[in-house]
Amino acid sequence: MQRMKKSINTAIAFLFFALSSFAQAGKHEERVTLPLDSFTAKIGRQAQPQIIDARSPEEFSLNHISNALNFNVQTNGYATLVQALDKSRPVFIYAISTGRSSVLAHDLKSRGFAEAYDLEGGSANWIGSGQPYYTSLKKGLSPAEFQQIIATNKKVLVNIGSRYCGLCKKAKPIVDSIRNEHPGDVTIVEIELEESPQLIAALKTVNVFPYFILYDRGAVAFKRSGVEALKYELEEALAKAK
């Protein structure tokens, strides 16, 4: 009996130690993908932040965070580019969403970088929230022109995305079906990051691509991101706006 009590006490002590160790490990393990507020806060604490744009050179040439480097795990000379970074300092990574940036962040962690983070929502989240960025574009749909469209049409469906966004391509046939099934009932405006970043920044509501806003007589009647159940929700919102 005494031996059994000792075994039970030992098992309980071991279980407590294991749970305690697991909890402590969880406290010290930081997320790789960060929401915008955490991402910008960490960047703000760096005198010269190491920022990497993990998109293609073509995407980078159109718009990017100022002073960002441009490469990803598939870039020629990737290992050499990584060696030029400081492993002791955080690395901040973004792309269109979290595909390419998350892969790069995890690879840097595996190479001994203490801190490597990617931005939740990517460039859509950064520019869409009004954060500062570089653009090579001189002209796009201006906020004033956009407001004129909203003011002169009863119902306006705005489809916001990027030509490099996979989910945006999946959303296009859904938006096209809305256009074909509601002729004359709804005006559809398609806004791309590559053509009108200033407008996306001015809206200060986009946090991921694709993003949709339905205006009813100038007021926002519906907004959402993603493509799951999109057709059903758009049809429902249009019906309510009548």
238: number of CA atoms within 13 Å, CB side?
A: 22
Domain that holds residue 202: 143-241
Whether residue 6 is contained in a domain is answered as no
What pLDDT score does 109 carry? Answer: 96
Does one domain contain both 152 and 113? no
Identify the bridge partners of residue 187 per DSSP, sorted by sequence position: 156
Q: What is the CATH number of the domain that holds 189?
A: 3.40.30.10
SS3 239: helix
Does one domain contain both 100 and 168? no
Does one domain contain both 105 and 194? no
Whether residue 61 is contained in a domain is answered as yes
Does one domain contain both 122 and 215? no
**Burial of 35 (C-beta count, 10 Å sphere; 0-12/13-18/19+):** middle
Does one domain contain both 118 and 184? no
DSSP letter assigned to residue 154: S
Does one domain contain both 49 and 122? yes
How far is CA 222 from its chain centroid? 20
Query: Of 135, 161, 189, which marks where a domain is finished?
Result: 135
Look at the alpha carbons of 206, 211, 216, 222 in this order and tell me if their dihedral is positive or negative.
negative
Helix (H) or strand (E) holding 156: strand 155-161
Whether residue 121 is contained in a domain is answered as yes
Considering its fold, how many domains does the chain have in total? 2
List Cα–Cα distances, 57 to 71, 74, 75, 159, in angstroms.
Answer: 8, 12, 10, 25
What pLDDT score does 56 carry? Answer: 96
Whether residue 1 is contained in a domain is answered as no
Contact 227, 171 (CB under 8 A): yes
Does one domain contain both 224 and 147? yes
What pLDDT score does 30 carry? Answer: 61
Does one domain contain both 127 and 168? no
Does one domain contain both 129 and 197? no
Does one domain contain both 147 and 221? yes
Whether residue 90 is contained in a domain is answered as yes
Whether residue 3 is contained in a domain is answered as no
pLDDT by residue for the chain (242 residues), tens only, comes to 454 444 444 444 433 433 343 333 333 346 799 999 999 999 999 999 999 999 999 999 999 999 999 999 999 999 999 999 999 999 999 999 878 999 999 999 999 999 999 999 999 999 999 999 999 988 889 999 999 999 999 999 999 999 999 999 999 999 999 999 999 999 999 999 999 999 999 999 999 999 999 999 999 999 999 999 999 999 999 999 87
Does one domain contain both 148 and 236? yes
